[in-house]
Amino acid sequence: MLSFYFILTTAVTPLLSVSTNERSSTVDCDSSTSLSKKNVSDFLDAINDRRSKLVKGFQPDGESDEWLLWGLDMFEMEWNCTLESLALSALKTATRCNSPVPPIAGTTGFY
């Protein structure tokens, strides 16, 4: 399941600048996927809100009381429908290994 979210996260590409006030996180994919438009929009909004805070200099630096420096040339994220469909098809053909193959009798396996 973790690989599913990792691949879907990589299906998000930077296209629009955060410095603009207008958001364009709408998704208009032609094909039906396992994620609804609302889920994708919520996902993009959460990422873009955090990126916006970083660009504006409103992101605290870990446990210190200081703020991180404001960002330059950081882009807003937009969903890539083509990459999403490629990721989903790759997940369908991925092989899964539930248990390791035991070593041949009388030999020691590599661990």
Annotated domain spans of the chain = 2-17+32-93
8 vs 17, residue with greater confidence: 8
Q: What is the mean pLDDT of the chain?
A: 73
Strand partners, 67: 60
86 vs 111, residue with greater confidence: 86
Q: What is the rounded average pLDDT of the residues 25-49?
A: 79
State pTM to two decimals.
0.54
| Mutual angle of helices 2-10 and 81-93, in 10-degree steps | 150
Residue 77 φ then ψ, to 5°: -90, 145
User: Alpha-carbon torsion 58, 59, 62, 66, what sign?
Assistant: negative
Q: What is the rounded average pLDDT of the residues 70-98?
A: 83
Q: What is the rounded average pLDDT of the residues 3-13?
A: 48
| Other beta carbons less than 10 A from residue 79's beta carbon | 22
- Whose structure tokens read 């041949």? 104
